[in-house]
Amino acid sequence: MATIDVEPLCNYTGWSGAGTEAPTTEVVRTPEAAPTELVGTPGETVMFPLKIPAGETLDNAAWMIGTESLAMAGDPPSVLVSGRRYRGRLRIPNDGLSLHITDLRLEDAGTYTAQVNTDKSQFTRLFTLHIYVPATMPVQASSLSYCQAKGLILLLVLGVLITGTVGVHIMASKPLKQD
């Protein structure tokens, strides 16, 4: 992955000094990091990991799904659940650096946001949760009973015998060519 230094661009004024117009400031923002993709299946647990810069400590993290406030993790870690559908299913470990959703449901899929405040910085982490229903185990074809198998073999043999007899009879009934 290439790294681009955008700091000089952030201070770009867009003014060449010529003319009478006052300088304008144009702020160039770096694009947000792509969301972390997470995959779960109904009934399982998923963990949303928060990574904070080295040397920083977590003050608090606000978790949301879409625009709905979900939970707040602080020091000490506590879970304040505002969404009814998540009650009893959210956990934040003692370090506060992850969110766990237990007993996943199909409707849990979506984009989750963590707004993080540390002792030195503020940042946002995005997660996209996909919920997949595993394919059901293939249904094994029931085996034929002994009688059914014998009946099929008998039908097959009779079919061959009848076809052979008819074929022999047709062949035998043709008049012979005489020159």
Number of domains into which the chain is organized: 1
Look-up of token digits 């996209």: 128
CA distances from 1 to 30, 31, 50, 63, 125 (A): 15, 14, 21, 29, 19
Can you give the CATH number for the domain in which 122 is found?
2.60.40.10
Domain membership of residue 74 (yes or no) is yes
* Within-domain flag for 159: no
Q: What is the pLDDT of residues 70-101, one digit of tens each?
A: 888 876 656 667 667 888 898 888 777 889 99
Residues 82-104: b if buried by 16+ CB within 10 A, e if exposed: eeeebeebbebeeebbbbebeeb
110 Ramachandran zone, left/alpha/beta (phi>0; psi -120 to 50): left
Range of the domain at 111: 31-131
For the record, the structure tokens of 59 come out as 């003050």
* 152 vs 111, higher pLDDT: 111
φ, ψ for residue 150 (rounded to 5)? Answer: -60, -40
> Does residue 20 belong to any structural domain of this protein?
no
* Sign of the alpha-carbon dihedral angle for 114, 61, 64, 78: positive
* Residue 105 lies inside a defined structural domain of this protein: yes
Please report which confidence band the pLDDT of residue 164 belongs to, taking 50, 70 and 90 as the band edges. low
Q: What is the pLDDT of residues 54-70, one digit of tens each?
A: 999 888 898 999 888 88
Q: Does residue 6 belong to any structural domain of this protein? A: no
CA atoms of 125 and 120, how far apart (whole Å)? 16
Upper half-sphere CA count for residue 26 (Cβ side, 13 Å): 9
pLDDT of residue 174: 54
pLDDT surpasses 80 at 141: no
Is there a domain that residue 63 lies in? yes
Domain contains 126: yes
Summarised one tens digit per residue, pLDDT across range 1-28 is 443 443 443 443 443 444 445 444 333 3
- Quote the pLDDT of residue 85: 84
